[in-house]
A and B are shown apart, each in its own frame.
Chain A
Amino acid sequence: MEPTIIRISESAFTLSWESIIDPAIHAYVVEANALINLNPFPGWIENVPAFHTLTIFFDVRIAQQHQIDNLYFHQYIRDVLAKEHSLNQTAKPLITIPVLYHPSVAPDLECAANSLQMDIDTLIQIHSSQIYTVFLIGFMPGFPYMGILPDALVLPRKDTPSTQVPAGTVAIAGKQTGIYPHNSPGGWYGIGQTAMPMFSNGKCFLHSGDQVKFMPIYE
C-alpha cells in the first residue's frame, strides 16, 4: 500500500497510511522504517514511527547541498519502498515482560477489575494471554504504546489523571496497554508493576514493531 507524503516542517516529512490503529496497517510503517534505515538519503537523521505514520527527520543544510526537494523525496520514497529486504520474512522474536499484578503495587488493579465487571484473576489472565504489537514510543522517553487490548479490557482514560504513577507501572487505557518508564502523572489504569527498565543510559528497551507478552510473576 502506498503512503501519502506530507511535508510537516522544513526538516521533516510524514508518510501516512490508512488512519486506523491496526497491526496490519502498522506493518507498513515497520517495513518502511526498516527500508529507510537501510537506505538513507543524504542528510537523513532518524525516523519516528507512530500508529499509521512514519515521520522522517533530516538535516536541512545537508539536504540543500544535495538539492533535495519535494520531488526528490517522492522519488526516493517510491524507490526505497520498492526494495526487497531480507528481514521481510523473518518473524519478530517475542519479548516477555515479567509483571507483578498485585494491588499492593498496582494502584488501579481493583477498581479497573470492578469497572470491567470481572474478578482480578480474569483481568490478569486476559491481559497476559494476548501478544501485543509495540506501535510507537512516545509521550515520554521509553514509553511504549502497545495494542490491541482485548475488547473485554477496554476502559476510557481517567477523567482526572493521577499525579504520580510509579515507574514500572504496567497500565491500560482504551485499546492500548503501556508501561510508565519513570514516575509521572498519568491517565491510564495501573494494573501491574514490572522491574524491567523501559529506558536507561539513553537506550530504549522496546521499539516500534516489537511483539510483547506479559508474564505474571508471583511473590
Chain B
Amino acid sequence: MSILIIKPGFQTTVQDLGRVGFKKSGVPESGCMDKFSSRLANILCGNNPSDAVLEMVLHGVEILALSPLVVVFSGGGAQPVINKQLVPFNRPVFIPANSTIHTLPYHEGMRLYMAIGGGIDVPLVMGSRSTYLPAEAGTPCISGSILAIGKSSILTENILQQLAIDFHTITFSLWGYLPQHTAINSKIIRIMEGPEWHLFTLNAQIDCVLQPFTILPQSNRMGYRLHGKPLELIEKVEMISTAVTKGTIQITPNGSLLILMADAQTTGGYPRIAQVMETDINALAQIKPGDDIHFQMISLSEAMKVNAGLENLLHNICKAVESKFL
C-alpha cells in the first residue's frame, strides 16, 4: 500500500511522536507539532498513537492514493477534499485506490494531520520516523515522492470492514470525535515561570502576561518569533549555553520573544523568561503568522493536571474505538 505526493503544498513532512534520547548528541526531538491532533487522528483509524503521519502546513497539497486506504484528518489549517467531496475532520474515511486528496484553504489553524491506517512506513532513524534533515533523518515529501503505508492493525481492518460499502466508493464514517476540528481556537497560551524569570524587570514580567504578541512570518518548526513589547532584563547578563527544550520562551538581546519548537537547537544561551506548558504547545502549532496570542501564568502542578486530563481524554477515545471494533 502506498501514496504518491503530487503537490507538497507549503511544507509537508512525515512526523511521529519524535526522536527521544538523542538531545545529548545535538539532535532535537522533532515530531508532530500538535501531538493532540496527530494522536487523535491515529486512534480514530485504528493506529498506534505513535504511528507516523503526514504533517501539512496550510493548503495546496495533492496526494494520490495508490491503494484503498482508511484515513483520518485532524488539526486545522486546511480543508481536505477527496474526489471533489469535502471530508469531515476527526472521523475515519474509506478511500478507494486512485482517489485524489486535495487540501483547500481553511479559516482556522495551521497544521493538518493525515493519519493513514497502517501508518506511514518510512525508515526509522534513531528510533523515529520524524523528519529532521540536519541529522539525515526523514523521507522527502516532494512532487513525485512515494510513501509506503504499513500493515494495518486488526482494529484498522475492522474499521475498514464496517466502513467500506465496496472497494469503489468513498465512505465517511457516521461516528468520530467532536468538535469539528481540534485546532484549538483559544489564543491564550499558558506558561510557567522560566529559570531566568527573576532576572527580568517587574514591567517585563507584567507585560509578559498582559500584552498581546503577534506571530511573525518567519516562524517555523524550529521556533516562533513574536512581535510585541520588548521585555527587559534588570541588567545585561552573559548567559552560558545550557540545554533547552521545546516550549522554552527565550528573550533575544533586543527584547523580543522566541519560542523554541520541535526542531529547535538542543542548547541555547538566551535568558528564558517562561516555559509553555506541554498541552499548549499543541495550540501554538495551530496559530498562524499574523495572529495575536496572550500568555497566562499557571503553576507546574496545574499544568500537570491539564496535561494528565488530555492524556485521559485520548485514552478514553482509544478505549471507545477498541470497544466498538475489537
| Interface set of A (CB-CB < 8 Å, partner B) | 6-12, 14, 16, 19-21, 45-53, 55, 57, 60-61, 64, 136-143, 145, 182, 184, 199, 202-204, 207-208
**Interface status of B201 (Cβ within 8 A of chain A):** no
- CB–CB B135/A141 < 8 A: yes
B24 interface residue per 8 A CB criterion: yes
Question: Chain A contacts of B22 at CB under 8 A?
Answer: 46, 141, 202
CB-contact partner of A48 in B23, B195, B277, B300, under 8 A: B23
Contact, CB under 8 Å: B27 / A9? no
By a CB distance below 8 angstroms, the chain B residues around A60 are 278, 304, 307
Please provide the 8 A-B residue pairs with the shortest distance between their CB atoms, ordered closest to farther. A138-B267, A55-B243, A48-B243, A204-B25, A202-B126, A141-B135, A53-B242, A141-B26
**Is there contact, CB below 8 Å, between A182 and B134?**
yes
Name the residue of chain B whose CB is nearest to the CB of A7. B300
Q: Whose C-beta in chain B lies nearest to the C-beta of A205?
A: B25
Kindly report which residue of chain A lies nearest to residue B194, judged by CB atoms.
A8
Contact of A14 with B266 in the complex, beta carbons under 8 Å: no
> Which residues of B84-117 have CB atoms within 8 Å of chain A's CB atoms?
none
Q: Count A/B pairs, Cβ under 8 Å.
A: 111
- Asked if A51 and B240 sit within 8 Å, CB to CB, the answer is yes
Of B23, B25, B277, B308, the contact of A57 (CB 8 Å cutoff) = B23
- A167–chain B nearest beta-carbon distance, Å: 11
Name the contact of A139 in the complex, choosing from B243, B265, B272 (C-beta under 8 A).
B265
B303 to A, closest residue via Cβ: A10
Q: A140-B134, A202-B22 are in contact. Are A48 and B125 (CB under 8 A)?
A: no
Query: Would you call B266 and A48 a contact (CB within 8 A)?
Result: yes
For B25, B27, B300, B308, the residue with the greatest tally of chain A CB atoms inside 10 Å of its CB is B25
Known: A10-B278, A142-B26. A19 touches B21 (CB 8 A): no
Q: How far is the CB of A139 from chain B (nearest CB, A)?
A: 6
Contact of B243 among A50, A64, A199 (CB under 8 A): A50
Taking residues whose C-beta sits less than 8 angstroms from the other chain, chain B's interface range is 35 or more
Name the CB-closest residue of B to A16: B242
Which residue in chain B gives the minimum CB-CB distance to A143?
B26
Question: Could you show 16 A-B contacts with beta carbons less than 8 Å apart?
Answer: A9-B247, A10-B304, A11-B245, A19-B240, A46-B23, A48-B267, A50-B240, A50-B242, A50-B243, A50-B267, A52-B240, A140-B26, A140-B134, A202-B135, A203-B25, A208-B24
Residues on the B chain within 8 Å of A49, using CB: 24, 243
Bound complex: CA A219 to CA B241 (Å): 37
Q: B215 → chain A, closest Cβ, in Å?
A: 21
Chain B residues contacting A51 (CB-CB under 8 Å) are: 240-242
The smallest C-beta distance from A180 to any residue of chain B, in angstroms, reads: 11
Contacts of A204 in B (CB 8 A): 24-26
Interface centre among A10, A50, A61 (most CB of B within 10 A): A10
The residue in chain A whose Cβ has the minimal distance to the Cβ of B125 is A202
B304 near A137: Cβ-Cβ < 8 Å: no
Give A137 to B126 CA distance when docked, in angstroms.
17
Once bound together, how far apart are the Cα atoms of A52 and B194, in whole Å? 18
Within 8 A of A (CB), among B219-268: 240-243, 245, 247-248, 265-267
Chain B residues positioned under 8 Å from A6 (CB to CB): 195
Judging by beta carbons under 8 Å apart, are A45 and B134 in contact?
Answer: no
Chain A residues with CB under 8 Å of B194's CB are 8
B311 within 8 A of A: yes
Cβ of B20 < 8 Å from any Cβ of A?
Answer: yes
Q: Are A10 and B300 also in contact (CB < 8 A) when A48-B243, A139-B267 are?
A: yes
CA distance A46 to B304 in the complex (A): 21
| Interface: B275 (CB within 8 A) | yes
* Given A51-B241, A64-B308, A139-B267: A199 and B20 interface contact (C-beta under 8 Å): no
The one of B27, B134, B275, B311 that contacts A61, using a Cβ cutoff of 8 Å: B311
CA distance A9 to B247 in the complex (A): 8
| Distance (whole angstroms) from the CB of B84 to the closest CB of chain A | 42
